[in-house]
Structure 1
Amino acid sequence: MSDAHGMNDAGVALSALTTMQVGGVPERMITASTQRELIDAALDVWSDGGEWLVLAGGSNTVAADEPFEGTVLRVATRGIEVLPTDADTPGRVRVRVQAGEPWDDLVAYAVERGWSGIEALSGIPGSTGAAPVQNIGAYGQELSSSLVAIEFLDYLSGEVSRVPAAELELGYRTSVLKQGREGIVLAVELDLHDTADAQAVLGEALGQPIAYAQLASALGVQLGDRVSVQAMRDAVLALRASKGMVLDPADRDTASAGSFFTNPIVRENFARALPAEAPRWPLVPAAADVVVPLGTTVADSPLDEFLAHQADLAASTVDAGAAASAETLVKLSAAWLIEHAGIRRGFRLPGSRAAISSKHTLAITNTGGASAEEVAQLARYVQGRVQSEFGVILHPEPVLVGLEL
C-alpha cells in the first residue's frame, strides 16, 4: 500500500532488512523513494510523537527480537549529481548524493570516473546517508577528508538545512549525529579529486597516497605511494572479503554488522601497563573518544571540554590507577584485546547461533537463525572477558535498537 508519504510495508521484519539478520516486525514501516516522500513521511511521523527509527542499508543496526513499537522510516532515495565547481579549484569534483544510495555503489561510480578520495572505503556496506553519522573509515581513509556538507532534516525544527562538515564534530566513528542531534540525513555532499589529467599522462587515474600498512603490503608498494584508484579498490575489496567484511549470501561470516566494537581510546599512561606487544597508535585528543579511569569524572579531567562531547564516557572505565591527565591519547586494537582475552575466531557460547567470525575476531556473526538476544549475549561475554583481562570496556559500533549490553 502506498500514499503521498511513501510505501507502507506492513509485516516486514527488521531481520529481513539488516545484515545481522535479526529484529522483529515494526508496528509500521514507510519506505520513501524520493526526498520529498522522506521529508513528508518524517514530519508526519514526528507530529504523532511516537517512536521512530531511520533505516537504509541496515548494515549498522542490531534490533531486538520483539516488535518495534513505532515507525521505521526506510530510506530508499537514489541519485548522484555532479555539482558545479569554482574555476580556481581545478582537479576537483563535487558530488551530491542522495542518502539512500548504497555507499559502495557510489565508490564504484567514482572509481570508474577516475575520482579519488573514497577508494579505500570500498566494500563498506550500508547507505551514503549513514556514512557521516559515524564518520566511516577504513584502510587509512575517513569520510571526513572528503565530506563538505550534508542536507539535514532537523527533528526539533522540522526544517531542512545544509550543515557544513565542520559543524558535525566528526571524530573516530562518531559525530554530533551519533551523539544526539536528531534528524535525518537527506543527502551528502563530497569533494573528490579528479585525476583525469594524471590519467591522460600516465594512462591511469591515481588514488590518494596509501596510508595503511596492510594495504600497502597487499599492493606491494610503500606507505605514501600511489596506485590507480581501481587497483586500490580491488585490493581493499580483496582484503575486506578475506575478513568476511564484504556481503556475500553464501558466506555466513558476512551476516554481521561489520566490526562490532570500536577500537578503544585510552591515555598513554594506561596503555603503558598493557603487554608490550599490544598494538597502539598515538592520537590527537580532539580526534578520539576517550576511556576515563575509574573514579574520574568528566569534570575532574583537564580534557573536560573535549570529553563533554563524548556521550559514551559515562560507561567508559579503565584501570583505577590510571591518572586523569591531559596526556597523549592512544588507540588500541579491539581485535587484539579480544583475541588475547582468550576469544578465538569461530567462538560461540554453548547452544548459541551467534558466533565470532571465523575470519575476524572483531565481527559477531549470525550463523543461521540467531536471535538478537544471542548476539547481545555474545557481545556481553566478549566485553566481560576483555574487561577482566585488560580493564577496558569495549563499546559497540552498531546502533542497538531495543537491546542493551
Structure 2
Amino acid sequence: MSDSSLTHDIQSRLSELADVTLDDRLTFADLTTLHLGGRPRTVVRCATASAVAEVVTLLDAHSVPLLVVAGGSNLVVADGDLDLVVVLLENDSLDVDVATGRVVAGAGAVWDDVVAAAVSAGLGGIECLSGIPGSAGATPVQNVGAYGAEIADVLVQVQLLDRPTGTVSWVPASSLDLAYRYSNLKFTSRGVVLAVELHLSTDGLSAPLRFGELARRMGGTARWPVAAVRDAVLELRRGKGMVVVEEDHDTWSAGSFFTNPVVDPAVADAVQAAVRATRGDDDADRMPRFPADGGEKLSAAWLIERAGFAKGHPGDGAPVRLSTKHTLALTNRGAAKTSDLVALAREVRDGVREVFGVTLVPEPVWIGVSID
C-alpha cells in the first residue's frame, strides 16, 4: 500500500521532534482493549502535550490521515492495512491538589490511575468512575459515565488543540455541549484533548449515590467515604467483566458496546407491553425506564437479554461472544477478527430492533468499518 502524503521527509521531521518516537511494530490489536484491528502506517508516540500538538499540526499541514489514540478502549478498527498514522498519547502527567480539590491530568494518563490518586488523596466526585478503561483525555470526548456519575459533573476545562488553527488553549467545559455519552468533540476531528482539569470535593466523601445497584451495595443513597465507594464499584465492575484483566477474555471488549436508548414514552410503553405479553407481569413491571432529556432512557442490556441474546451468545467456539458476565459487552475470545465483531454487533442490533422496534446505537468509535 502506498501513500504519497506520508513522505520520507515528513517521517524524518517527525523523528526530529522533541519527546517523539516513531514505532512501526504496533498494530491496532496492540493498541485497543478489544485486541482487534490492522496495521497503521506508523505509530508516533508523544510523551508530552507539546509533542502531541506539534505532531498533529505537522501531519494536518501535509494532509496525512491520522488517528489520535491513548487507551484504545473505545475503538472498533478494521482489519488489514490502514491508510493512517496513529498519534499515541503518552503524556501522563498528573497533579492533585488536596487542599483545593483541583486535579489536572495529561490526556495520556490512565484514567483509573487518576481516580485512584484522587481517592487516595480523599477527593470525591469520580469514585463511581473507577475501573473504566482508557485515558483521561477520552473522558470528556464522550462524557464518560457510570453508576449515576458523569465526567460532566466535575469537569472544569480541557486543554484543547484546535486543529483548524493549530492553537492550544484551555476551553471551559460549558462549551463542549456535554450530554449523555456525548460532547461536540465526539465523531469530529476539530480538536484534540491534551489535558483535563477537574474540581473534586475535599471532605473525603463521595457524590450522593444515584444508581440503585451501587446504592444497595453501600446501604443507601447518602454520601459515603470515597475509598469504600471505589472498592464497591470495582467489585461490581469485576463481576461484569468490566475491569480489564489481560488473561480474562471477558474483558477483551470496548466496555458497554451500545448506549442506553432514549425513546419517546409511547415507545417505552410499547416495549413494556410486549414484554408483558411474552414474559409476564413480573418481568414487565421490573423493566428499567427512567426520565431523560428527550423522553425515557431504557436499559440496552435489558433489551438485549429480552430479545433472546443470553450471556455468552452465540456460544462456545465463537470468536466473538457476548460476555459471559454481562450482555452489553462484545468480547474477543482471543483469535477474532474485526469482521467477526461487526457480524455479532449487527445480529444483536437487528434482533433488538425486530423484537422491540428500538435501534441500539454503538458507543465505540468505528475506524475503517461500519455497523451499517
TM-score, L = length of structure 2: 0.90
Alpha-carbon shift at residue 284 of structure 1 (Å)? 2.8
Alpha-carbon shift at residue 268 of structure 1 (Å)? 1.0
Counterparts of 2:189 and 2:97, CA distance in 1 = 27
Could you tell me which of 354, 369, 388 is aligned with 2:335? 369
- 1:317-336 equivalence runs, <5 A: 329-336=295-302
Counterparts of 1:229 and 1:156, CA distance in 2 = 41
The answer for the alignment partner of 1:206 in structure 2 is 205
The answer for the alignment partner of 2:193 in structure 1 is 185
**Amino acid paired to 1:4:** L
Counterparts of 1:78 and 1:255, CA distance in 2 = 23
Give ranges in structure 2 of 5+ residues lacking alignment.
1-11, 274-283
Counterparts of 2:217 and 2:249, CA distance in 1 = 25
* Secondary structure of the corresponding residue to residue 150 of structure 1: strand
Counterparts of 1:233 and 1:74, CA distance in 2 = 29
Matched, 1:243 2:234: no
Report if the CA contact (8 A) 2:107-2:195 is conserved.
yes
Instruction: Give CA deviations for 1:204-229 in whole Å, capped at 9, x if unaligned.
Output: x322211111001112x112x12210
Counterparts of 1:112 and 1:82, CA distance in 2 = 10
The answer for the alignment partner of 1:103 in structure 2 is 111
The answer for the alignment partner of 2:303 in structure 1 is 337
The answer for the alignment partner of 2:276 in structure 1 is none
Give every structure 1 segment of 4 or more consecutive aligned residues whose post-TM-superposition deviation is greater than 6 Å.
none
Counterparts of 1:193 and 1:83, CA distance in 2 = 11
Alpha-carbon shift at residue 140 of structure 1 (Å)? 1.2
The answer for the alignment partner of 1:115 in structure 2 is 123
Alpha-carbon shift at residue 11 of structure 1 (Å)? 2.8
* Secondary structure of the corresponding residue to residue 157 of structure 1: coil
Instruction: Give CA deviations for 1:269-295 in whole Å, capped at 9, x if unaligned.
Output: 22111125232101133xxxxxxxxxx
Q: 1:256 to 1:330 in 2, by over 3 A?
A: same
Report if the CA contact (8 A) 1:29-1:73 is conserved.
yes
Q: 1:83 to 1:230 in 2, by over 3 A?
A: closer
Matched, 1:346 2:359: no
**Amino acid paired to 1:354:** V
Matched, 1:359 2:325: yes
- 1:252-263 equivalence runs, <5 A: 252-263=249-260
Report if the CA contact (8 A) 1:243-1:360 is conserved.
yes
Report if the CA contact (8 A) 2:96-2:118 is conserved.
no
The answer for the alignment partner of 2:263 in structure 1 is 266
Instruction: Give CA deviations for 1:5-26 in whole Å, capped at 9, x if unaligned.
Output: 5110113111011100001110
Matched, 1:30 2:29: no
Matched, 1:126 2:107: no
* Secondary structure of the corresponding residue to residue 76 of structure 2: strand
Alpha-carbon shift at residue 352 of structure 1 (Å)? 3.6
Could you tell me which of 215, 220, 223 is aligned with 1:222? 220
Matched, 1:46 2:23: no
Give ranges in structure 1 of 5+ residues lacking alignment.
85-90, 196-204, 286-328
Could you tell me which of 387, 394, 398 is aligned with 2:353? 387
Instruction: Give CA deviations for 1:122-170 in whole Å, capped at 9, x if unaligned.
Output: 0000000000000000011110010001010011111112111111000
Cα RMSD of the aligned pairs, angstroms, is 1.6
Alpha-carbon shift at residue 350 of structure 1 (Å)? 9.0
Counterparts of 2:66 and 2:185, CA distance in 1 = 15
Matched, 1:61 2:75: yes
Alpha-carbon shift at residue 92 of structure 1 (Å)? 4.1
TM-score, L = length of structure 1: 0.82
Alpha-carbon shift at residue 181 of structure 1 (Å)? 5.3
Counterparts of 1:229 and 1:14, CA distance in 2 = 35
The answer for the alignment partner of 1:4 in structure 2 is 17
Greater helix proportion: 2
Counterparts of 2:187 and 2:320, CA distance in 1 = 28
Counterparts of 2:128 and 2:97, CA distance in 1 = 23
* Secondary structure of the corresponding residue to residue 258 of structure 1: coil
Counterparts of 1:183 and 1:260, CA distance in 2 = 24
Could you tell me which of 357, 361, 365 is aligned with 1:399? 365
Identity of aligned residues (%): 44
Instruction: Give CA deviations for 1:94-139 in whole Å, capped at 9, x if unaligned.
Output: 1221100100000000000100010000000000000000000001
* Secondary structure of the corresponding residue to residue 259 of structure 1: coil
Report if the CA contact (8 A) 1:103-1:124 is conserved.
yes
Instruction: Give CA deviations for 1:340-390 in whole Å, capped at 9, x if unaligned.
Output: 111100002796400000000000000011000100000000011011001
Counterparts of 1:33 and 1:173, CA distance in 2 = 28
* Secondary structure of the corresponding residue to residue 184 of structure 2: coil
Report if the CA contact (8 A) 1:345-1:359 is conserved.
yes
Counterparts of 1:188 and 1:239, CA distance in 2 = 27
Between the two proteins, the alignment pairs up a number of residues equal to 345
**Amino acid paired to 1:215:** L
Counterparts of 2:213 and 2:316, CA distance in 1 = 34
Report if the CA contact (8 A) 1:11-1:26 is conserved.
no
Counterparts of 2:30 and 2:188, CA distance in 1 = 27
**Amino acid paired to 1:365:** T
Counterparts of 1:272 and 1:187, CA distance in 2 = 43
- 1:257-336 equivalence runs, <5 A: 257-275=254-272, 277=284, 278-285=287-294, 329-336=295-302
Matched, 1:135 2:143: yes
Alpha-carbon shift at residue 82 of structure 1 (Å)? 4.2
Counterparts of 1:79 and 1:378, CA distance in 2 = 38
